[in-house]
Amino acid sequence: MRFSEFGLTTLKEVPSDAEIISHKLMLRAGLIRRLASGLFTWMPLGLRVLRKVEAVVRDEMDRAGALELLMPAVQPAELWQESGRWDQYGPLLLRMSDRHSRDYCFGPTHEEVITDIARRELRSYKQLPINYYQIQTKFRDEIRPRFGVMRSREFIMKDAYSFDIDKAGMEASYLRMHAAYMSIFERLGLKFRVVDADSGEIGGSRSQEFHVLADSGEDAIAYCDADNYASNIETAATSPSTAGYPDAAEELQKIATPGVKTIEALCKFLKIDASRVLKTLIVDGVDGPVALILRGDHELNAVKAQKIPGVASPLTMATPEAIVKATRSGPGFVGPVGLELPVHFDHATLGMSDFVCGANEKDMHFIGVNFGRDLDVSKTFDLRNVIAGDPTPGGSGTLSIARGIEVGHIFQLGSKYSEAMSATVQDPDGKNQVMSMGCYGIGITRIVGAAIEQNHDEAGIIWPAPLAPFDVVLVPINMQRSEDVRAAAEALYQELTSQGLDVLLDDRDARPGVKFADAELIGIPHRLVISDRSLAAGELEYRHRKDAESRNLKREDALKLLQ
């Protein structure tokens, strides 16, 4: 490709709406352009990268025996009503109707459509196992689209769906996909980790996520290498304490705390640490409000809490009005002593003694509260996020926390969809058997952003070789004035291109500094500079995007290196 014909516009300024480096660099390098919130155009340079990601994913999926198909993006509501998700999915689902007032959605995922295909196409166990996949556009009306293509509303996903006669078959299909995903992320040159995960809206039993490690990641990952444990913090479990209540040293007292409504203000007022305060959160329950109780310095884990029977899912905080009505006091002064609501204590609260909590009276708190004497708890729950230093569930190590970007997610679905939609085949005895399913997603567009988060410097993107939009950039100096330079550059361009390399020839009549800056910004791995001076010595100036300095190489040596 000749730069002069490529229509690429790079930007010096950092666009103000871009919060993280990958988003900034994707806009500056001209990979994407924003159309509206969460909607992006992939410009020719960006599309080259996207196609490279797709090619690796497609190749590994094909190798794993999966069959590519392409399903419609628009899906009829009836299928979603059959699975029960039309009512469950909520505002993330973009719904629409056609000219006959029939309801449709723009697919956020394709379990219903593929299950419909499977129940029509598959008749016998002899056709199993089978794994269908597609690389296709999804829409999710995200509450907070951000980070460019990493959390957009329209994005491209590779989604695959396996069908087996039984659970053992499904587990084998799942393992095959696990192995394919390992190969994909290794081939893409990304530093990643596989973690246990929550199944979310998709459902099913076992699931694992693949995370690209990056400080800007939206997910927190708890791991322990000694224990070989890794889990999304959403599902990383804590255990009940086996020790009895600690001894009480203080008397229970009610004290005035006028206007002191937050844990932070309370700690300042009483000059104590948040770990000495009991935090009471009122959430919506199936039959009225429910109280969740945590240690003041611990964070509520919504994914765990919404699985407790009686608690509404998705987890919803009660409104201030509902709190006043249910507790007689207001937000900030609620506590479990004498509270007439269903109350669930986090495991870690039982290790506390002589603590502080709301007195269920405006502007009042209790101090010197103790379990056993002032509060009796028969059962505790896992309600909080783990923190660094917590014991691993196996108990033989301690947890560290890292941040990650979820780029892939694999699920053992079992019969969730096949049961609801009657997707059966005949087993060897001629009996109808509900198929066992797995589903497997990869965020194709998200991978591009995640790769940049991991690979960049002050000057711009540093593509891992398999993702680079071009392998080599040729920078002729003074090409418009030197016939030698022009001829050498053209010859090199033809030769490298014919060897199958993706070559960008920067044939613009621009200063070398401008060309170098653009080549660095767009992150092309190899750069060759062609000048009268280097040609006179039979050399080319070579620099890898990761090198600090360039070096002169004989023409043949440069060609050899690029091969």
CB 471 within 8 A of CB 503: yes
CB of 1 to Mg ion, least distance (A): 36
CB of 559 to Mg ion, least distance (A): 45
- Tokens representing residue 512 in the block: 């070398």
CB 110 within 8 A of CB 137: no
- Nearest CB to ligand ATP, comparing residues 152 and 380: 152
- Tokens representing residue 62 in the block: 């094909």
- Nearest CB to ligand ATP, comparing residues 53 and 375: 53
CA dist list (Å): 240 to 303, 346, 350, 382 = 18, 8, 9, 8
CB of 419 to ligand ATP, least distance (A): 20
3-state secondary structure of 267: helix
Q: Which of 529, 558, 536 is nearest to 484 (CA)?
A: 536
361-420 residues in contact with Mg ion (CB under 5 A) are 409
Which residues, in sequence order, are CB contacts of 143 under 8 Å at separation 6+?
91, 92
- Nearest CB to Mg ion, comparing residues 119 and 140: 140
CB of 134 to ligand ATP, least distance (A): 13
Q: Candidates 302-310, 373-381, 438-446, 549-557 — which segment interacts with ligand ATP by CB under 6 A?
A: 438-446
CB 250 within 8 A of CB 374: no
CB of 151 to ligand ATP, least distance (A): 5
200 binds ligand ATP (CB under 6 A): yes
443 binds ligand ATP (CB under 6 A): yes
- Interface characters, 62-101, with ligand ATP (x: CB under 6 A): ----------------------------------------
Q: Which of residues 202, 278, 356, 496 is near ligand ATP by CB under 6 A?
A: 202
- Nearest-angstrom CA–CA distance, 453 and 217: 9
107 binds ligand ATP (CB under 6 A): no
CB of 218 to ligand ATP, least distance (A): 7
Query: Residues in contact with Mg ion, total (CB under 5 A)?
Result: 1
Q: Which does 140 bind (CB under 5 to 8 A by kind): Mg ion, ligand ATP, none?
A: ligand ATP
The residue type at 182: M
CB neighbour burial string for 402-431, b if at least 16 within 10 angstroms, e if fewer: bebbbbbbbbbbbbbbbebbebbbbeeeee
CB 403 within 8 A of CB 393: no
Strand partners, 295: 278
CB of 347 to ligand ATP, least distance (A): 26
196 binds ligand ATP (CB under 6 A): no
- Nearest CB to Mg ion, comparing residues 409 and 543: 409
Beta pairing, strands 74-76 & 39-42: unpaired
CB 179 within 8 A of CB 210: no
Q: Which of residues 85, 304, 347, 446 is near ligand ATP by CB under 6 A?
A: 446
389-418 residues in contact with ligand ATP (CB under 6 A) are 406-409
- Nearest CB to Mg ion, comparing residues 30 and 203: 203
The interaxial angle of helices 21-28 and 444-454, nearest 10 deg, is: 100
Q: Which of 75, 71, 280, 240 is nearest to 160 (CA)?
A: 71
Which residues, in sequence order, are CB contacts of 43 under 8 Å at separation 6+?
8, 30, 31, 32, 33
- Interface characters, 131-170, with ligand ATP (x: CB under 6 A): ---------x-x--------xx--x-x-------------
Q: Which does 407 bind (CB under 5 to 8 A by kind): ligand ATP, Mg ion, none?
A: ligand ATP
Q: Enumerate binding residues for Mg ion (CB under 5 A).
A: 409
Q: Enumerate binding residues for ligand ATP (CB under 6 A).
A: 109, 140, 142, 151-152, 155, 157, 200, 202, 406-409, 441, 443, 445-446
